[in-house]
Chains A and B, each alone.
Chain A
Amino acid sequence: MSWDTVIGLEIHVQLATKTKIFSGASTAYGAEPNTQACAIDLAMPGTLPVLNKQAVNYAIMFGLAIDAEIGQVSAFERKNYFYPDLPKGYQTTQLEKPIVGRGNVEIQLADGRTKNVRIHHAHLEEDAGKSLHEGNFNSSFSGIDLNRAGTPLIEIVSEPDMSNAEEAIAFAKKIHSIVTSIGICDGEMSQGSMRFDVNVSVKPSGSDTLGTRTETKNLNSFKFMEEAIKREVARQIDVIEDGGTIAQETRLYNGETKVARSMRSKEEANDYRYFPCPDLLPVVVSDEQVEELRRNLPELPDARQARFVEQYELSEYDAGILSSDAAMANYFETVSSACKNPKLAANWTMGELSARLNSQDLSIGNSPVSAEQLAGLIVRIADNSISGKMAKEVFEAIWAGEGSADKIIEARGLKQVSDSGALEQMVADVLAANQAMVDDYINTDEAKRKKKLGGFMGQIMKASKGQANPQQVNQILAQKLNELL
Chain B
Amino acid sequence: MLHPLNLIGLFMVPYATLIQGIYRAELTDNLMSIERREIEKLATLSRIAINEETINEVSQRLGSVLELVDQLQAVDTDGVEAMSHPMQATQRLREDEVTELNRREALQAIAPETEDGLFLVPKVIE
From B17, B47, B117, B122, give the contact of A142 (CB < 8 A).
Answer: B122
Shortest distance from the beta carbon of B91 to any chain A beta carbon, whole Å: 4
Distance, CA A449 to CA B121, complexed state (A): 81
- Complex contact A34–B104 (CB within 8 A): yes
Query: Which residues of A449-485 are within 8 A (CB) of B?
Result: none
How many residues on the B side are at the interface (Cβ–Cβ under 8 A)? 47
- Complex contact A271–B45 (CB within 8 A): yes
Interface: A26 (CB within 8 A): yes
Shortest distance from the beta carbon of B8 to any chain A beta carbon, whole Å: 10
- Complex contact B94–A24 (CB within 8 A): yes
Question: When A24-B98, A142-B122 are in contact, do A53 and B93 touch as well, CB less than 8 Å?
Answer: yes
- Complex contact A96–B84 (CB within 8 A): yes
Distance, CA A36 to CA B87, complexed state (A): 33
Q: Which of B28-36, B53-61, B62-70, B107-115 sits within the interface?
A: B107-115
Chain B residues with CB under 8 A of A344: none
- Complex contact A143–B122 (CB within 8 A): no
How many residues on the A side are at the interface (Cβ–Cβ under 8 A)? 59
Chain A residues with CB under 8 A of B1: 96
- Complex contact B90–A143 (CB within 8 A): no
Chain B residues with CB under 8 A of A37: 104, 107
Chain B residues with CB under 8 A of A131: 124
Query: Which residues of A1-60 are within 8 A (CB) of B?
Result: 17-19, 23-26, 32-40, 42, 44, 50-56
Chain A CB within 10 Å, residue with most, of B92, B119, B121: B119
Q: Which of A272-280, A314-322, A439-447 sits within the interface?
A: A272-280
- Complex contact A35–B94 (CB within 8 A): no
Question: When A137-B120, A273-B24, A278-B85 are in contact, do A80 and B17 touch as well, CB less than 8 Å?
Answer: yes
From A84, A89, A275, give the contact of B9 (CB < 8 A).
Answer: A275
Interface: B96 (CB within 8 A): yes
Question: When A24-B100, A35-B102, A144-B121 are in contact, do A53 and B95 touch as well, CB less than 8 Å?
Answer: yes
- Complex contact A17–B84 (CB within 8 A): no
From B87, B90, B119, give the contact of A146 (CB < 8 A).
Answer: B119
The A contact surface, by secondary structure, is loop
Chain B residues with CB under 8 A of A24: 94, 97-100
Question: When A33-B116, A84-B124 are in contact, do A284 and B91 touch as well, CB less than 8 Å?
Answer: yes
Query: Which residues of B1-49 are within 8 A (CB) of A?
Result: 1-2, 5-6, 9-10, 13, 16-17, 20-21, 24, 45, 47
Question: When A34-B104, A35-B102, A143-B115 are in contact, do A19 and B96 touch as well, CB less than 8 Å?
Answer: yes
Cβ-closest chain B residue relative to A31:
B102
Interface: B75 (CB within 8 A): no
Distance, CA A392 to CA B92, complexed state (A): 56
Question: When A135-B116, A278-B85 are in contact, do A84 and B96 touch as well, CB less than 8 Å?
Answer: no
Question: When A273-B17, A278-B10 are in contact, do A284 and B90 touch as well, CB less than 8 Å?
Answer: yes
Distance, CA A278 to CA B84, complexed state (A): 8
Interface: B80 (CB within 8 A): no
Chain A residues with CB under 8 A of B126: 83, 263
Chain B residues with CB under 8 A of A136: 115-116
Distance, CA A284 to CA B45, complexed state (A): 33
Interface: B74 (CB within 8 A): no
Chain A residues with CB under 8 A of B119: 34, 84, 143-144, 146
Given contacts A37-B104, A142-B120, 16 further A-B contacts (CB under 8 A): A18-B96, A33-B117, A33-B118, A34-B118, A39-B103, A44-B107, A50-B93, A53-B93, A54-B95, A143-B118, A275-B16, A276-B6, A276-B9, A278-B85, A280-B91, A282-B85
- Residues of A near any B CB (own CB < 8 A): 17-19, 23-26, 32-40, 42, 44, 50-56, 75, 80, 82-84, 89, 96-97, 131-133, 135-146, 263, 271, 273, 275-276, 278, 280-284
20 contacts between A and B (CB under 8 A): A19-B97, A33-B116, A36-B102, A39-B100, A52-B94, A53-B94, A53-B95, A53-B96, A84-B121, A137-B115, A141-B122, A142-B123, A144-B121, A146-B119, A275-B6, A275-B17, A275-B20, A278-B85, A280-B91, A283-B90
